[in-house]
Amino acid sequence: MPGGSLLPLGGGAGPPGGGGGSAGGAGLLLLAPGVRKLWGFRLTEKFVLLLVFSGFITLCFGAIFFLPDSPKLLSGVFFQQPPPPPLQRSPPPPAGEEQQHGGSLARVREEQQQHGGSLARIREEHERALREAKDTLNRLPGDIQGDIRRDKERLARDRAGAAAAGAGKQLPGRVFRPPLGAVGKEPADPAVREKRDKIKEMMKFAWDNYKRYAWGLNELKPVQKQGHSSNLFGNIQGATIVDALDTLHIMEMKDEFKDAKEWVEKNLEFNVNAEVSVFEVNIRFVGGLLSAYYLSGEEVFRRKAVELGEKLLPAFNTPTGIPWALLNIKSGIGRNWPWASGGSSILAEFGTLHLEFIHLSQVSGNPIFAEKVMNIRKVLNRLDKPQGLFPNYLNPNSGQWGQHHVSVGGLGDSFYEYLLKAWLMSDKTDEEAKKMYYDAVQAIETHLIRKSSGGLTYIAEWKGGLLEHKMGHLTCFTGGMFALGADGAPSDKTGHHIELAAEIARTCHESYDRTTMKLGPEAFRFDGGVEAIATRQNEKYYILRPEVIETYMYLWRFTHDPKYRQWGWEAVQALEKYCRVEAGYSGVRDVYASHPNHDDVQQSFYLAETLKYLYLLFSDDDLLPLEHWIFNTEAHPLPVVLKGDRTIEAASK
């Protein structure tokens, strides 16, 4: 090697005058030219120099240990995560320690032998992993770097087109339906009107306290009277503001809507150097901004929605196009949750982007957003489904399912919701989504839906063929979903879907009614002699969730059965009694306790979903009529896309 010489370590007598003895091994020590006369120094100088060189070699070997291991390389993490932080040097040994301990040189040589023996193995594994990762990527369809380049080029063309067209002007391919039913009539029944006014007062109370104690932050801690920021949003702030925009507009809270708009215009920033949940940011921020734009026509909401959509696009830069769960939206580096089945993406997360991304193509004129979510369908349709069911985990590198765990609650829920709503939002032209939805419902009915001995219908979870007789609060949205999808079912199934929706609503109401606080637990079970009751302490909490009230709202719209308004009002009374505190609303840790133990978080979805669905429950059907509006999974209303839209048709091909 130019500029140095190689000396064998061990394997013979020590240097003249040295006290090292023999240290077997085949490692090599690289010495600079100025050290070739090492053995001409005095004994103490030799010890010092050898210790310096051994420390240098140890540092080099230590750096090797910080390289990614082969499993990370194969899973794609090495290519997606930022590099590890620089190595920190250890403090030097006390001066003179080498002279004090006569055996130092032997220990140094033993350490060199140990590290030298592992170096070859480490290098071999590292090189093999690189080869395997390269081979894997070469075998997968598509060129990731090419995709990134093409995405950037398209976005640049889109920005240029928008600038040429002028702010607020319609880009080619954009088709809008005027916002029908953005504001409805006052209910004719005074009792109903009084209840709706009460819900509006609850919204004002929640909003005013957020503004007083947590303005600009993500959420409110109403007990401590301060802000709360979840790591789901990284450093993006203002989740409650964006989530509440359309609720404020629908309730005609004009001053509050104006304040929220001004904050968005001046303070909402997305260029943050932190990881965000792609799913949560999409449904709350993108969905909230799009909905506010369609309801109000304010250009700032369209512009911010498209800007954020562009920031999320790098999440799709995986070998399959299945997006990462987490994304640093400044660097574009993505990864999945560490706990998610060997680096898998989660069905409910990558399956809950379709509505928002279709509308991003609508308002930008750029089909790239629609193309990304259409590709997810293509990947799913190529895969075999166990028993016709969709497992919750999918590896974005291999395109194969993770563990066979199926849930229509957490991890799976909104995927099924978006299949149905994609068909409805397309003006019932998306036949692929329709078929996927009704096929999935058939498999769910066959394998997951059961009836308890007490006559309660519930949806169990499926784990590799074994049923867990547990139903989550999140699963209670399915009552509304089945009702919403009844009209598109085969003619002999329409009534059946409405009946199934009503049975799910009854079960979820029972989960509320069987608690002390008349608020539903996070999960409830149907085994061990209990029905619709939480049996584990970590399932007894309520965090202001909307799913049960969402189902009441849909069933009211489709049946006008007064019991759904009665059940909704019971929930209002329980929220007021147990969740309302001095400065807002808080979740509770145990719905079976006689006195509330508050978790001290006013969730943004309480304003976006829970209060909105309650307000709609006590409104006439002309407010956001379901034939013209589709609610995303965060209850943000988006208009039905007219037939013949060129942007969406191009993306579908």
Q: 3-state SS of 512-559?
A: HHCCCCCCCCCEEECCCCCCCECCCHHHCCECCCCHHHHHHHHHHHHH
- Is pLDDT at 182 greater than 90 in this prediction? no
pLDDT at 79 over 50: no
Q: Could you give all domains of the chain from N- to C-terminal order, each with its CATH number?
A: 5-80+101-139 (no CATH), 151-161+197-225+234-652 (1.50.10.10)
- Give the confidence band of 644 by pLDDT, cuts at 50, 70, 90: low
Under 8 Å between Cβ of 311 and 337: no
Q: What does the pLDDT read at residue 76?
A: 35
Whole-number Å distance between alpha carbons of 176 and 170: 9
Q: Which residue carries 């600038």 as its tokens?
A: 163
With cut-offs at 50, 70 and 90, classify the pLDDT of residue 57: low
| Burial class of residue 508 in the structure, from the number of CB atoms within 10 Å of its CB (0-12 exposed, 13-18 middle, 19+ buried) | buried
Residue of 35 and 645 predicted with greater confidence: 645
Structure tokens at 536: 């584990």
Mean pLDDT of 273-282: 97
Q: What is the percent of the chain with per-residue pLDDT over 90, rounded to a whole number?
A: 68
The pLDDT mean for the chain works out to 82
HEC secondary structure over 158-207: HHHHHHHHCCCCCCCCCCCCCCCCCCCCCCCCHHHHHHHHHHHHHHHHHH
Residues whose CB is less than 8 angstroms from the CB of residue 13 and which lie 6 or more positions away in sequence, other chains included: 22
Q: Which is more confidently placed, 195 or 649?
A: 195
Per-residue model confidence (pLDDT) at position 283: 98
166 Cβ partners below 8 Å, 6+ apart? none
Distance (Å, rounded) from C-alpha 568 to C-alpha 550? Answer: 9
Split at pLDDT 50, 70, 90, the class of 27 is very low
pLDDT at 424 exceeding the cut of 80: yes
Question: What average pLDDT does range 77-93 have in this prediction?
Answer: 35
Confidence at residue 80, expressed as pLDDT on a 0 to 100 scale: 36
Helix 239-250 × helix 190-214 angle, to 10° = 150
Per-residue pLDDT at 183: 80
Helix (H, G, I), strand (E, B) or coil at 588: strand
Q: Return phi, psi of residue 522, to 5°.
A: -65, -35
The model's pTM is 0.76
105-137 pLDDT, tens digit each: 444 344 445 444 444 554 554 454 444 444 444
**CB–CB of 210/220 below 8 Å?**
yes
- In this prediction, residue 512 has a pLDDT band, given cuts at 50, 70 and 90, of very high
Q: Which tens digits make up the pLDDT trace of 537-563?
A: 999 999 999 999 999 999 999 999 999
> pLDDT-derived band of residue 63, with 50, 70 and 90 as boundaries?
very low
Residues with Cβ < 8 Å from 71, sequence gap 6 or more?
A: none
Tokens of 373: 């979510």
- For residue 462, pLDDT over 60 is answered with yes
pLDDT computed for residue 180 by the predictor: 79
**Token pair in block for residue 494:** 């329409």
- The strand pairing partners of 457, in sequence order, are 451
Q: What is the pLDDT confidence band of residue 177, given thresholds at 50, 70 and 90?
A: low
- Nearest partner of 341 among 275, 404, 290, judged by Cα: 404
Q: How far apart are CA 426 and CA 433, in angstroms?
A: 10
Q: What is the pLDDT of residue 391?
A: 98
Mean pLDDT, rounded, for 223-236: 94
Distances in whole angstroms, Cα of residue 152 to Cα of each of 296, 313, 314, 376:
30, 10, 10, 20
Over the stretch 188-214, which tens digit does the pLDDT of each residue have?
Answer: 999 999 999 999 999 999 999 999 999
Strands 345-346 and 333-335: unpaired
Q: Give residue-wise pLDDT tens across range 626-642.
A: 999 999 999 999 999 98
Contact 373, 349 (CB under 8 A): no
Cα separation, 119 vs 122, in Å, equals 5
Other beta carbons within 10 Å of 37: 8
Contact residues for 214 (Cβ-Cβ < 8 A; gap 6+): 220, 221, 226, 227, 228, 240
For residues 406 and 412, is the Cβ–Cβ distance under 8 A? yes
d(CA 193, CA 597): 32
What distance in Å separates the CA atoms of residue 549 and residue 571, rounded to the nearest whole number? 8
pLDDT of residue 525: 98
CB-based contact 309:379 (threshold 8 Å) = no
Q: Give per-residue pLDDT as tens, 593-608.
A: 999 999 999 999 999 9
Lowest mean pLDDT among 173-187, 410-424, 526-540, 614-628: 173-187
Tell me what the mean pLDDT of segment 242-256 comes to: 98
Active-site positions read: 522
Confidence of residue 5 (pLDDT cuts 50, 70, 90): very low
- At residue 25, the pLDDT reads 37
CB contact at 8 A, 548 and 520? yes
pLDDT in tens, 360-378: 999 999 999 999 999 999 9
Averaged pLDDT for residues 513-523: 98
Which has more confidence, 44 or 286? 286
